[in-house]
Amino acid sequence: MKRKILIGIVIVFAILQFFRIDYTQPESMIENDFIAITNPPESVANTLRTSCYDCHSNQTTYPWYSQIAPVSWWVGDHIHEGREELNFSEWGTFSEKRKAKKLHEIEEEVEEGEMPLESYLIMHSESKLSEEQREELEAWIKYQESVL
């Protein structure tokens, strides 16, 4: 009986692998990219690329585990939601009002330690913001808010 259950689980797991997420990267123009437009210091740009861009841009680097269902569905959903909330690759298409709102939201999320998500940091510990990175990013975002 245990053998049949195990075989059934393996078969279901194998079938799940045929239901894949969409890995295509939406086209984006460099002139609309947040980093290209705002020209942050290199340390801030690196922090944004390392800690934000995987979920909040069209430049996602899919990790190995995103190829395995049902984990891939969870990863795909996070990326979809992240891009929907804020897509740094489309920054140049935002109105000034929307840019100001998004900058304020970024500042709040970073200050409160809400981003990057804890679930993301489990597999991407290099994305965890140090206190120094957090302070530098917050200060730079506040500056960006002031020049809008």
Q: Domain residue spans in the chain?
A: 2-147
pTM: 0.86
Taking alpha carbons only, the member of 137, 145, 140, 57 closest to residue 104 is 145
* Mean per-residue pLDDT, 124-148: 92
Query: What's the pLDDT at 40?
Result: 96
The residue among 122 and 93 whose pLDDT is bigger is: 93
Taking alpha carbons only, the member of 75, 77, 57 closest to residue 66 is 75
Taking alpha carbons only, the member of 137, 126, 125 closest to residue 42 is 137
Query: What's the pLDDT at 27?
Result: 85
Whether 1 shows a pLDDT value over 90: the answer reads no
Taking alpha carbons only, the member of 81, 78, 89, 83 closest to residue 123 is 78
How far apart CA 107 and CA 115 sit, in angstroms, is: 10
89 near 57, Cβ under 8 Å?
A: yes
